[in-house]
């Protein structure tokens, strides 16, 4: 499954990226790293990832949600909309708590959500599930 | 003079509850004339409805009414809005009834009969009280919001390094021991250690800040010889400056110029400023620390020849967890607590701090401190070592976290 699969890690913590990269590479994934949301968005065209691992809190703000929203809703990223996003954070609040306004939360609700530090078996299972959901989605007509 | 409310904001609204039609009429006439919005009600029940609907700035209520009593009106209005301001009108100006009403939470009382001026004055005072109460509540809410945001940030700052270390160890355990295994393990152990140290320093800084908040940091107000503290802090920071080829220079104050403060705090303050000046300098740059008497106070300034701080960031520089985002500053270790500590120490010592900075040229931090009366011997920094709980002090500047900008 992992064969030719590229994962884009967007996270401002060098050490977290290093550890997760080693883990994913040991499982046969190709890994591309971005240290900020902006860098991550810029890399999309170049690396065409199959999955995005996206940190919520970067530079003390919930920038990750902005990136998630941009990919899912902004016109210029329409080609990347189908890419499953796994959001990662060490903050315990769910998106519903962070964004209490009704409606708002549906715009930014991540496809998948895991917390730091990653529980490795659970994380790998989530990655698998996310990739399967995407291939399923793409094989649907329309 | 009756204060006619400004036209741009709606006039304050007042609800009058009294079963006596003559009293309602005269209150309305007097207060209308002063420009307030007035609604009157003839009993407690309709009055309470009116208060709920109009949310007035002031409620005037008669104590003796048939049906729901004035006292009950008071307690029910306050139950719905604890910052409501209520003035009681009492026909029998006995101390007892007034005291009872005040105990129930009324703001003031007005014995019948009263003159128009007496009513106007008490209404003005009541409205001022209302304004203060609303302002206090607004500030309270703001503080609560800040506090909650703060807790989120602190826990994030604490969890991030811990999560990184955990992740390294956890992944290490999972990885096969291939040819690169040993080298990787060594490198990751080093990185783990760095993150753990970063976190220890953060916790120490954090404790220092809480200690200042609890007002237990600056325990002394003694004449302090800043020159000697400057000399010893510069000596201590030399190891940090030398690898970058940064020169440290002191311009001491004339002999006998002392400031009034706590030597331990002043040392922490200086350590933070000097290590920042080194950290955000350019290689081969210069740090100058000057002490001089200015306008009856003592001025301590720390200048660097570094990156400088863009104008738009300067107002937030002393905020907890604020860090300047600009090329060159990224990757410098720090959590944004150093200058927050400096600011609190300065405030506690009754001084003030300002920064002037030119991007690309460098920054200067100027601290003004109260001067000590002349002719007293100064305390040098040595007594810093005798403070009872050294675990509360920030780590020496060599460690990663003690400084931040």
8 A C-beta contact, residue B366 and residue B285: no
Q: Rounded mean pLDDT of chain A?
A: 81
pLDDT at B133 over 80: yes
Q: Cβ(B339)–Cβ(B355) under 8 Å?
A: no
| CB distance A83 to A50 below 8 Å | yes
β-partners of residue B14 are B38, B58
For residue B200, the cross-strand partners are: none
Does A137 score more than 50 pLDDT? yes
How far is the C-alpha of B63 from the C-alpha of B15, rounded, in Å? 14
B363 beta partners: B357
Strands of A112-115's sheet in order across: A30-34, A6-10, A51-55, A85-89, A112-115
Smallest CA–CA distance, residue A138 to chain B, in Å, is 32
Higher pLDDT, B378 or B251: B251
pLDDT at residue B391 greater than cutoff 50: no
Asked if the C-beta of B114 comes within 8 angstroms of chain A's C-beta atoms, the answer is: no
Residues of B in contact with A18 (CB under 8 A): 168, 188, 191
Cα torsion B304, B305, B307, B310: sign: positive
pLDDT tens digits, one per residue of A52-89 = 999 887 764 667 778 888 888 888 888 898 899 998 87
**How would you classify the pairing of strands B247-251 and B286-294?**
parallel
> Which range has the worst mean pLDDT, A22-26, A81-85, B12-16, B311-315?
B311-315
User: Looking at the domain that runs over A6-139, which CATH code has it been given?
Assistant: 3.40.50.2300
- Sign of torsion, CA B204 B205 B211 B216? positive
Instruction: Calculate the average pLDDT of chain B.
Output: 82
Distance of alpha carbon B292 from alpha carbon B271, whole angstroms:
18
Give pLDDT tens digits for B57-106: 999 999 888 889 888 999 999 999 988 999 998 876 566 777 888 888 99
Percent of chain B past pLDDT 70, that is, above it, reads: 82
Residues 6 or more apart whose Cβ sits within 8 Å of residue B17: B40, B41, B42, B43, B44, B46, B47, B50, B59, B60, B61, B62, B65, B70, B73
What is the enclosing helix (H) or strand (E) of B63?
none
- Average of pLDDT values for B356-372? 90
Contact B163, A16 (CB under 8 A): yes
- DSSP tag of A30: E
β-bridge mates for residue B86, sequence order: B59
- Percent of chain B predicted with pLDDT > 90: 38
CB contact under 8 A, A16 and B164: yes
What are the pLDDT digits (tens) for B330-346?
Answer: 556 666 677 888 888 88
- Residue B251: its pLDDT value, please? 92
Give A32-53 pLDDT, tens digit per residue: 999 988 899 999 989 999 999 9
Q: Does B166 touch chain A (CB under 8 A)?
A: yes
pTM: 0.53
Residues of A in contact with B186 (CB under 8 A): none
Cis peptide bond upstream of B113, omega within 30:
yes
The predicted-structure confidence for B182-223, as pLDDT tens digits, reads as follows 888 889 999 999 889 888 877 877 777 776 665 555 667 788
pLDDT at B360: 84
Q: Which two tokens stand for residue B54?
A: 């109009």
**B 127-156 residues inside an 8 A Cβ radius of A:** 152-153, 155-156
Confirm if A38 and A16 have CB atoms less than 8 A apart. no
Name the strand (E) or helix (H) holding B83.
Answer: none
Given the cut 0.90, state whether the ipTM is greater than it.
no
A18 interface with B at CB cutoff 8 Å: yes
User: Mutate which of B148, B158, B167 to disrupt the A interface (most A C-beta within 10 Å)?
Assistant: B167
- B182 in A contact zone (CB under 8 Å): no
Q: Can you tell me the distance from the alpha carbon of B299 to that of B295, in angstroms, rounded to the nearest whole number? A: 9
Inter-residue contact B39 to B54 (CB < 8 Å): yes
| String of DSSP letters for B310-342 | -GGGGGGTTSTT----STTTTT----S-HHHHH
pLDDT at B122 over 50: yes
Q: Give per-residue pLDDT as tens, B139-155.
A: 888 777 777 766 776 77
- Is pLDDT above 70 for A104? no
CB contact under 8 A, B167 and A93: no
Structure tokens at A48: 């065409």
């Amino acid at each position: 499954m992992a064969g030719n699969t590229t994962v884009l890690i967007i996270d401002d913590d060098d050490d977290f990226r290093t550890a997760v990269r080693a883990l994913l590479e040991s499982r046969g994934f190709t890994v591309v790293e971005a240290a900020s949301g902006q860098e991550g968005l810029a890399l999309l065209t170049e690396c065409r990832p199959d999955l995005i691992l996206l940190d919520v809190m970067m530079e003390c703000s919930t920038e990750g949600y902005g990136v998630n929203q941009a990919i899912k809703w902004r016109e210029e990223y329409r080609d990347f909309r189908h890419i499953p996003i796994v959001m990662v954070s060490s903050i315990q609040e769910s998106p519903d708590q962070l964004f209490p306004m009704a409606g708002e939360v549906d715009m930014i609700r991540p496809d998948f959500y895991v917390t730091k530090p990653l529980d490795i078996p659970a994380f790998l299972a989530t990655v698998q599930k996310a990739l399967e959901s995407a291939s399923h989605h793409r094989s649907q007509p329309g | 003079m009756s204060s006619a409310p400004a036209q741009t904001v709606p006039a304050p609204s007042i609800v009058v509850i009294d079963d006596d039609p003559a009293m309602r009429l005269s209150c309305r006439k007097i207060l209308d004339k002063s420009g307030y919005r007035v609604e009157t009600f003839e009993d407690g029940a309709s009055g309470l409805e009116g208060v709920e609907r109009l949310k007035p700035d002031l409620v005037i209520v008669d104590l003796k009414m048939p049906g729901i009593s004035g006292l009950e009106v008071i307690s029910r209005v306050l139950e719905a809005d604890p910052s409501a301001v209520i003035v009681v009108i009492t026909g029998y100006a006995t101390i007892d009834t007034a005291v009872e009403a005040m105990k129930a939470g009324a703001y003031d009382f007005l014995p019948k009969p009263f003159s128009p001026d007496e009513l106007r004055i008490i209404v003005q005072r009541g409205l001022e009280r209302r304004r203060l109460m609303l302002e206090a509540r607004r500030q309270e809410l703001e503080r609560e919001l800040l506090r909650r945001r703060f807790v989120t940030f602190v826990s994030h700052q604490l969890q991030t390094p811990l999560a990184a270390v955990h992740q390294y160890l956890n992944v290490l355990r999972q990885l096969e021991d291939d040819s690169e295994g040993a080298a990787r393990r060594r490198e990751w152990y080093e990185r783990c250690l760095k993150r753990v140290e970063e976190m220890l320093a953060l916790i120490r800084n954090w404790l220092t800040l809480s200690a200042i908040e609890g007002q237990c940091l600056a325990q002394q107000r003694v004449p302090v010889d800043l020159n000697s503290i400057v000399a010893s802090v510069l000596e201590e920071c030399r190891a940090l400056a030398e690898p970058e080829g940064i020169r440290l220079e002191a311009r001491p104050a004339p002999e006998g110029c002392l400031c009034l403060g706590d030597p331990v705090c002043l040392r922490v303050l200086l350590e933070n400023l000097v290590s920042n000046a080194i950290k955000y300098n350019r290689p081969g740059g210069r740090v100058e620390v000057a002490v001089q008497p200015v306008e009856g106070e003592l001025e301590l300034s720390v200048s660097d020849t570094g990156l400088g701080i863009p104008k738009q960031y300067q107002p937030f520089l002393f905020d907890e967890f604020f860090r300047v985002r600009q090329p060159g500053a990224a990757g410098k270790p720090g959590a944004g607590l150093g200058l927050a500590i400096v600011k609190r120490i300065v405030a506690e010592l009754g001084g003030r701090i300002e920064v002037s900075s030119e991007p690309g040229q460098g920054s200067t931090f100027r601290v003004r401190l109260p001067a000590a009366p002349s002719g007293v011997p100064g305390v040098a920094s040595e007594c810093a070592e005798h403070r009872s709980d050294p675990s509360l002090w920030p780590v020496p500047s060599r460690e990663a976290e003690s400084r931040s900008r």
